Amino acid sequence: MKAWSWDRYGPPEVLALKDLDEPDIGRDDVLVRVRAASVNPYDWRHVAADPKLVRLSIGLRRPRPGLVPGADLAGVVERVGDDVTGLRVGDEVFGEVRLGSFAEKVAVPQNRLAVKPTGLTFEQAASVSMSAHTALQGLRDVGRIAAGQRVLVNGASGGVGTFAVQLATMFGAEVTGVCSTRNLELVRSLGASDTVDYTREDFTARARRYDLILDNVGNHSLGQLRRPLTPRGTIVIVGGLASARGSLLGPAAQMIRGALVSPFISQRVHAISWKPNSTDLRFLADLMEKGELTPVIDRTYPFDELPQAVRYVEQGHARGKVVITL
């Protein structure tokens, strides 16, 4: 099968299209013919091994041979393992893997897949998993969102942010989205009743108070983030779009600081590490089927142009999701 792989850590251009063996499937796995995959910051971080911590899981000096990057996918079931129940050959599915979706075929554990809603294209379905899962679990499980709360989403126009604004609105919160001038209208259209243009105003200096801050950007210290938070409010640390390149820990540094500070203050500071699972995927699929959640797709690239797609996401200004099609 054709698959993207890389032999040394570096910029997206180190990715090369190769002929690799089709992946083996375990008893609980499903072999999916990929029709679309989406690109996350997670992907360029793996390709570049940035932060350096990434090397611990995929190779200290260079990526282990034959590794394929890519997490999110949508496609058609081609084969199922002996213990797979509920999915059959020919089913259209979406979900995610730890690595491997930037290929014609990928083996996926059945509990990381769900049936694709019929009204959704493969491109839309491929754009859901990591971003929407993170937004959902960040707001609901870590942030314990409740109706009537004031919720601020920093980085509201990106992959996670566009889902988070919609989901927080759906949970009955009053949502403020932080984005740049060109994205104000988009973020309002997703349900935010208030927006902050980060090119003109720093939301941490505002008088307004929030019960929950979902931070995708990491461009403020914890002290700054706590200022606009209610005394019992919660900060959910999602990511570090603004974190320095080439460091050992990257966005994990803020997460560790949060864990150290949280026990000693009245406010809660928690990091989210998304956990893919088919229960949440089915919950998200149901919302999309009802028209209550819509993926925002910025750009679609053909499979052959994957390095350009990864490069675009790496620049940090995607509006919603970037998808590749096969």
Ligand X SMILES: NC(=O)c1ccc[n+]([C@@H]2O[C@H](COP(=O)([O-])OP(=O)(O)OC[C@H]3O[C@@H](n4cnc5c(N)ncnc54)[C@H](OP(=O)(O)O)[C@@H]3O)[C@@H](O)[C@H]2O)c1
Residues forming the site for ligand X (CB under 6 A): 40-42, 130-131, 134, 154-155, 157-161, 178-180, 183, 198, 216-217, 219, 238-242, 251, 272-274, 313, 316-319
Measured distance CA(246)–CA(58) in Å, rounded: 16
The partner residues of 235 in beta bridges, in order of sequence, read: 213, 269
CB neighbours of residue 291 within 10 Å:
8
Q: Smallest distance, Å, CB 161 to ligand X?
A: 5
Q: Which residue is nearest to ligand X (CB)?
A: 239
Look at residues 146, 177, 147, 140 and name the one whose alpha carbon lies nearest to residue 162.
177
Q: Smallest distance, Å, CB 83 to ligand X?
A: 28
Q: Smallest distance, Å, CB 6 to ligand X?
A: 18
Tell me whether residue 122 or residue 274 sits nearer to ligand X (CB atom): 274
Tell me whether residue 23 or residue 314 sits nearer to ligand X (CB atom): 314
Look at residues 205, 207, 152 and name the one whose alpha carbon lies nearest to residue 179.
152
Q: Smallest distance, Å, CB 177 to ligand X?
A: 9
Q: Based on C-alpha coordinates, what's the Rg of the chain?
A: 19
Measured distance CA(244)–CA(104) in Å, rounded: 34
Tell me whether residue 7 or residue 305 sits nearer to ligand X (CB atom): 305
The three-class DSSP label of residue 72 is: strand
Measured distance CA(119)–CA(29) in Å, rounded: 25
Q: Smallest distance, Å, CB 148 to ligand X?
A: 25
* Cβ pair 3, 104 in contact under 8 A: yes
Which residue blocks in 142-264 are alpha helix, DSSP H?
A: 159-170, 184-189, 222-226, 252-261
Burial 188-212 (b: 16+ CB within 10 A, else e): bebbbebbbebeeeebbeeeeebbb
Structure token digits, residue 39: 């690109």
Tell me whether residue 122 or residue 312 sits nearer to ligand X (CB atom): 312
Q: Smallest distance, Å, CB 246 to ligand X?
A: 15
Tell me whether residue 282 or residue 299 sits nearer to ligand X (CB atom): 299
Tell me whether residue 68 or residue 322 sits nearer to ligand X (CB atom): 322
Give the DSSP H or E segment for 324.
strand 321-325
Tell me whether residue 240 or residue 295 sits nearer to ligand X (CB atom): 240
Q: Smallest distance, Å, CB 122 to ligand X?
A: 19
